[in-house]
């Protein structure tokens, strides 16, 4: 195995000089640095990350815990985190919990054992109690994406209450008076905020959102597909004119389920989603949705942590990213006779 002494011998310098070039701990003349780098390349030397982390007490590794990497929205968030980490010289270690509480705890312990420098958490199964305990450990800085309100972690999220109001304003403006909602699990913090904003938005227009018009399912395309029949045929208030699906993943499944019922979108029912994942522009018809920039959410979380670790910047208690409406072809304005 090639050692640092082999590199020093090839470059005709001391092994201390090689260490300075690798770790950038002391200025080295350009000519000497070039000789060392050429020797490293010629010999195929790989510095020991373990040894380097023990000396610096830093691994330059960030751990990330997510509910599932199969959800396109999470994938776009991860992309934003990864880009920022790579540009700053950090490695990203991703743990997928599949929404299982025990896996969440096990992965957190594993990340601490791997001596990660920081952790990003984005999982609907992380309760306020989990974040409270995490904050008590005081082992590494943590930023949570879409965390429940009131957690001790520094949180990055979109303003989901504002997003819900945007949808209410838009659908009322389009002339709809009977609007249903398709939500994920009740405990999901962003679902609750979007529903709250939507209800408040309707109230501002003199309308009331009925509990009978709310249907909950899994945050999956299949959950949305299965919900179509319940919303369109099993609704106690009758068939809605429009449906607000609180995530694009559910909305995409809902589009398919409604077509399977022989109905047309948007002529028979209009659909609005939330997130504006990449797939939303390619559905049939293309999905009108509220955009929360997923890649930017991840990038902001990563930049926040890296600025804290590398520059000593304070971790903000909360960072909110403003959502906005993207109109496509899944909503038709209601004709008033």
Average model confidence (pLDDT) across the chain: 86
- Which sequence spans correspond to the domains of the chain? 4-47, 57-158+294-321, 160-292
Residues forming beta bridges with residue 93, ordered by sequence position: 63
The CATH number of 160-292 is which of 3.40.50.2300, 3.50.50.60, 3.20.20.140, 3.30.2390.10?
3.40.50.2300
Structure tokens at 104: 């969440």
Shortest CA distance to 107 belongs to which of 71, 134, 85? 134
Nearest Cα neighbor of 273 from 258, 291, 285, 256 is: 291
| Assigned CATH for 57-158+294-321 | 3.40.50.2300
Q: What is the pLDDT of residues 265-282, one digit of tens each?
A: 999 999 999 999 999 999
Per-residue pLDDT, averaged over 95-101, amounts to 79
Percent of the chain with pLDDT over 70: 88
pLDDT of residue 153: 66
Task: Specify whether the CB–CB gap between 53 and 115 falls below 8 A.
Answer: yes
pLDDT(145) > 80:
yes
For tokens 């309760």, the residue is: 127
What DSSP line would sit under 59-126, residue for residue?
Answer: --EEEEEES-TTSHHHHHHHHHHHHHHHHTT-EEEEEE-TT-HHHHHHHHHHHHHTT-SEEEEE-TT-
Give the integer Cα–Cα distance in Å for 195 and 215.
11
What digits encode the pLDDT tens for the residues 5-23?
888 999 999 988 988 887 7
Q: pLDDT per residue over 173-195, tens digit each? A: 999 999 999 998 887 778 889 99
Which fold does the domain 4-47 belong to in CATH? 434 Repressor (Amino-terminal Domain) (1.10.260)
Which residue would you say has higher pLDDT here, 145 or 52? 145
What local confidence, expressed as pLDDT, does residue 337 receive? Answer: 45
Q: Do domains 57-158+294-321 and 160-292 have the same CATH topology?
A: yes
| CB-based contact 38:186 (threshold 8 Å) | no
Return the pLDDT at 237.
79
């Amino acid at each position: 195995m090639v050692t640092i002494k082999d590199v020093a011998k090839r470059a005709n310098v001391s092994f201390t000089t090689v260490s300075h070039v690798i770790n950038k701990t002391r200025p080295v003349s350009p000519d000497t640095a070039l000789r060392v780098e050429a020797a490293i390349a010629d010999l195929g030397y790989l510095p020991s990350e373990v040894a380097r982390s023990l000396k610096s007490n830093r691994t330059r590794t960030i751990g990330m815990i997510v509910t599932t990497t199969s959800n396109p929205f999470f994938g776009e968030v991860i992309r934003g985190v990864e880009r920022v980490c790579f540009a700053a010289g950090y490695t990203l270690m991703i743990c997928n919990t599949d929404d299982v509480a025990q896996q969440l705890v096990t992965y957190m312990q594993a990340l601490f054992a791997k001596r990660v420098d920081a952790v990003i958490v984005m999982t609907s199964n992380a309760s306020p109690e989990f974040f409270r305990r995490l904050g008590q450990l005081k082992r590494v800085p943590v930023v949570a994406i879409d965390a429940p309100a009131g957690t001790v972690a520094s949180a990055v999220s979109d303003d989901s209450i504002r997003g819900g109001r945007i949808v209410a304003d838009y659908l009322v403006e389009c002339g709809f008076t009977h609007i249903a909602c398709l939500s994920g699990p009740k405990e999901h913090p962003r679902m609750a905020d979007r529903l709250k904003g939507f209800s408040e938005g309707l109230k501002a227009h003199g309308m009331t959102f009925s509990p009978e018009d709310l249907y909950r399912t899994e945050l999956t395309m299949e959950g949305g597909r299965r919900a179509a029949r319940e919303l369109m045929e099993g609704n106690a208030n009758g068939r809605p004119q429009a449906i607000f699906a609180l995530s694009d993943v559910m909305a995409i499944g809902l589009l398919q389920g409604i077509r399977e019922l022989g109905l047309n979108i948007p002529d028979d029912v209009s659909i609005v989603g939330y997130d504006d994942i990449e797939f939303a522009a390619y559905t049939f018809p293309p999905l009108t949705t509220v955009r929360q920039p997923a890649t930017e959410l991840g990038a902001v979380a990563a930049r926040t942590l890296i600025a804290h670790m590398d520059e000593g910047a304070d971790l903000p208690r909360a960072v909110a990213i403003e959502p906005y409406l993207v109109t496509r072809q899944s909503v038709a304005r209601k004709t008033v006779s």
